[in-house]
Amino acid sequence: MKPFRQVRRYDLAQSGGSAVTVSEPASGLLAGVFAVECADTPAAAFAAAIAADFGATVVIVEPPEGTPLRRLAPSAAQAPWWASLGRNKRSIAIDPGTEDGASTLARLAEKADIVFRDTTSRAAPLAEAARKAVDVELFPTGADRPDLWPWSTRTEFAGAASGIGAITGPLGGLAVQPEMPLADYTAGMMALMLAMGELRAARLAGVKPEPVRLALHEALARMNEWQVIVATAFGRAEKRTGNRFPMNANIGNIFTTRDGQMLSVSAATPAIARRLLTMVGGEALSADPRFATPAARAQHMDELEDLIGDWFARHDGEEALRLVAENDVVVGPIYGAAELMADPHVAARGNIVDVPADGGGCIAMPAALPRTSDGGADVRSTGPTVGQDRDAVLAMLG
């Protein structure tokens, strides 16, 4: 493992959120937990990454050519991608078909408190040999019940099975699929929570932990619970409506200013809606029967959004933000990576850190989040090269 001693962080107590350099101890809330990662897909690897951020010792078991996770991004982005997904972890390259490989795998399994894995073939023997570990398996939707799931079981389609595709995208148009591993990462976070709970319960009871099995769509389905609730209440499913609030009773959408800045508008309460309407069209618009109540607004939302859109189109972004602040209206800018990295509030909270990279320079990546008041999580190293920690891992195994 290649620990580094300095990392750029930001102190909320410092005026302006200026950068400070501090020493990074190799500790955290999960210090003492020994986890083994054996996965070709992002969900289990992300669960292990969060555990490592919080101080767990995480050993990646990968084939001699390296885990396919290293090559998920385009070639130009593979190094920073892996630097973040593999951060704080150790790597050992194992061929389980050899005597040495099988022996090392058995010793890793014996030491493990948690095994993070997917359905890759090399992971099953590791999980079976782990006598005291929580076996955390994250798998594509339908992989556990092919008799009930005739569709694809590739991880990329997990989001489609969660219901979110039915409500994302423009009215009357195609669904929009988020181009991020949303199902993988939310499932990874939920799996880690379950694993730690199971590990604690098993240790207190002095028994072997029960395995954690999680299909990728299940975490998103839980986050998207309102969809089923509303369908039950109304007796119908909600349709996709672009960026509007799902039930169209309140004002919520994204509008473009005269100079091309996109601003998100949210008026989820009657008081905020009145202030927004008064700002856009004066008391006459606020009192207009078509827009005076949530029910009326739901029936005339197209007309109302045209009026709001026209108002934003007559103002540059800076002026629009000043006016909404003066009128106590809930509006905010849409951030991209450049805005995130330049924003003083993001800097003051330390949400992005610059981590020293191999060969010099730094790689910007999200900080270890969520953060506790005593700093129970940190980024201590970038992702390892294939097998670089062999000697250190073998020493830990005796």
pLDDT of residue 35: 97
Fold of 6-224+351-396: Rossmann fold (3.40.50)
pLDDT of residue 246: 66
pLDDT of residue 249: 66
Please indicate, yes or no, whether the overall pTM of this predicted structure exceeds 0.95: no
At 355-377, the pLDDT tens digits run 998 777 899 999 998 877 676 78
Looking at the DSSP bridge assignments, the partners of residue 8 are 21, 354
Domain ranges in the chain are: 6-224+351-396, 251-339
Residue 289 has pLDDT above 50, yes or no: yes
pLDDT category at 171 given cuts 50, 70, 90 is: confident
pLDDT category at 24 given cuts 50, 70, 90 is: very low
Looking at the DSSP bridge assignments, the partners of residue 24 are none
pLDDT of residue 243: 80
Looking at the structure, give the CATH architecture of the domain made up of residues 251-339.
Answer: 2-Layer Sandwich (3.30)
pLDDT of residue 300: 92
Query: How does DSSP classify residue 186?
Result: H
d(CA 183, CA 154): 12
Q: Report the length, in residues, of the chain.
A: 398
Query: How does DSSP classify residue 374?
Result: T
Q: Is the bond into 80 cis (omega within 30 degrees of 0)?
A: no
At 177-188, the pLDDT tens digits run 777 888 999 999
pLDDT category at 223 given cuts 50, 70, 90 is: confident
Instruction: Give, in order, the Cα–Cα distances in Å from 145 to each of 130, 141, 148, 259.
Output: 25, 9, 6, 52
